[in-house]
Amino acid sequence: MSTGFAAVLVFLALIVPDQITRLPPGNSPWTALLRIPVEALIAGAILLLLPKKGRRGIVIGLGVTLGLLTVIKMIDVAFYAVLARRFDPVLDWILADDGFNFLVDSIGKAATIGVSVGLVLFSVLLVAGMAWAVLRLDTVMRGHRIGAWRGIGTAGVAWGVLAVLGVQLIGGLPVASHAAADLAGHTVMALPQNLADRKKFAAEVQVDNYRDRDPDQMLTALRDKDVIIGFIESYGRNAIEDPAYNGAVLASLQANTEKLTAAGYVSRSGFLSSPTAGGGSWLAHSTFLSGLWIDNEQRYRSLVSSDRLTLTRAFANSGHRSVGIQPGIVFAWPEGAFYGYDQIYDSHSFGYNGPSFSWSPMPDQFVMSAFQQLEYGKPGRDRLLAEITLTSSHTPWSPVPSMLDWDALGDGSVYGPVVAQSESTANVWKHDEKIRTEYARSIAYSIDSLLGHLAEYGNDDTVLVFLGDHQPASVVVGTEATRDVPITIIAKDPKTLDRIDSWGWTDGLKPDPAAPISRMDTFRDKFLAAFGPEGDPH
């Protein structure tokens, strides 16, 4: 029995894919067992050829390696589910803190600590168990050398034939499997690939058409405008196009269109392709503002240590007061200096005394109201550039606040009953349909908060740019979703939008499905060109 258990453990470690969605669909995921792992054949042959001296250490090392790869594969499963990509064994450890905080929001701190300890213990036991399993199988093969060679030879021929023919299971898994070898290659190559990317990025950051541009020759068309850049967390293309849950978002866009049109505003919309999905908002923000493609932590750290001209700093250099409205920042944020803000408002700066809304420290409408009091509504102020990050639509999308009268927000205490009467996050996350419904409600709320402020307090000289940072997790959009996010520019002065005619964006708050898609890192230069002297009418 122990031999059978060892064989099953090693076999599953070799053939189970790193994405749950790659398992055969429907009631037949067990057919994934109908695979031949080439790694087992190669390892078996190596074990049979090993001399007695030093053999045990090599066998244990092989088992430990397979165990560690299996742990990485389990992490990959989680990464694909949330971030739609593989785990980077060099750069991604920093995300452990975000994962811990997400679980705290979902199941509570005590349960999260228990889960974390359990995962660590399970990983240790898995590695130890894999070492034992390989040792056990090695002992059996040495006792039956002729039978082992015959089995390896027969399976090897079958693997070769199946590989040449490209035979696949339902769902696309190849029967002639090499998943563990691929994972090992990815893991081993992570460090040299990251070193090569670091060198590549160091060259990219030096290429900047606007580095030495005279500030007097930048953003000349917006010198008399207040500009607000609003990021809506997890506002992805699917939020407006997936009929399974887009109703609340479309209703919000329609209602706000009517209000803003009545107030004299016009808008144009398109799509940007984000460097991240499911999370990693700071990668999207830095990409958008810097004009460089920031798709990993290494690039982000290198960027914020550079003197790259950001869109926010360009406004500051051109005479605007530049402020960062960052309610999601709860700890020290030294990277903020890179963006060139004159002032940063973090979660402690808004005078909020209400309850948190899961991950989000406070509701978006309260943030916009505080922005009005702290900056936008001040008499006699300078022209303003405000970069605002709205967090109410951050996972886990429960509880979702409600829009209140702008004069009734007070210090936020009014939100106490809203949280108390809301369905628990844990209950929402038991049902995929509820997750999607609450996600859409949260996006609609963030849009209502941002555009409601514009309708309530905006003026003839206000220009609003708002966009999503990335698509939500695959539990909402699935695994085949694009990385597109909507982006919209709103203004009263028609000459403002005339400057982006060449972009091909469509009229309205909702981009047409055929609207152009640009990479997010192209926006900075396009914006600076459109609203600088080169964008003047000829």
Instruction: Calculate helix-pair angle for 523-530, 281-290, nearest 10 degrees.
Output: 40
Closest CA to 390 of 423, 359, 426: 359
Residues in the chain predicted with pLDDT less than 70, given as ranges, are 20-32, 98, 102, 105-107, 170-172
Q: Rounded to an integer, what distance in angstroms lies between the CA atom of residue 73 and that of residue 148? A: 28
Length of the chain: 538
Which pLDDT value is given to residue 20? Answer: 65
Residue 339's identity, in one-letter code, is Y
Closest CA to 274 of 234, 325, 322: 234
Which pLDDT value is given to residue 22? Answer: 61
Q: Rounded to an integer, what distance in angstroms lies between the CA atom of residue 424 and that of residue 54? A: 57
Residue 334: cis peptide before it, omega within 30 degrees of 0: no
- φ/ψ of residue 123, rounded to 5: -65, -45
Which pLDDT value is given to residue 27? Answer: 47
User: What are 141-176's pLDDT values in tens digits?
Assistant: 888 889 889 988 898 898 888 888 888 876 667 888
Alpha helices in 205-338 (DSSP H): 238-241, 247-262, 281-290, 297-304, 311-317
Q: Rounded to an integer, what distance in angstroms lies between the CA atom of residue 441 and that of residue 435? A: 10
Both tokens assigned to 251: 């209703």
Q: Rounded to an integer, what distance in angstroms lies between the CA atom of residue 254 and that of residue 182? A: 48
Q: Rounded to an integer, what distance in angstroms lies between the CA atom of residue 477 and that of residue 178? A: 29
Q: Rounded to an integer, what distance in angstroms lies between the CA atom of residue 400 and that of residue 449? A: 12
Dihedral class, residue 4 (left if φ above 0, else alpha if ψ from -120 to 50, else beta): alpha
Both tokens assigned to 481: 């979703």
**Secondary-structure breakdown of the chain: helix, strand, coil percentages, each rounded to the nearest 5:** 55, 10, 35
Q: Rounded to an integer, what distance in angstroms lies between the CA atom of residue 149 and that of residue 155? A: 10
Q: Rounded to an integer, what distance in angstroms lies between the CA atom of residue 171 and that of residue 152? A: 27
Both tokens assigned to 21: 């969605």
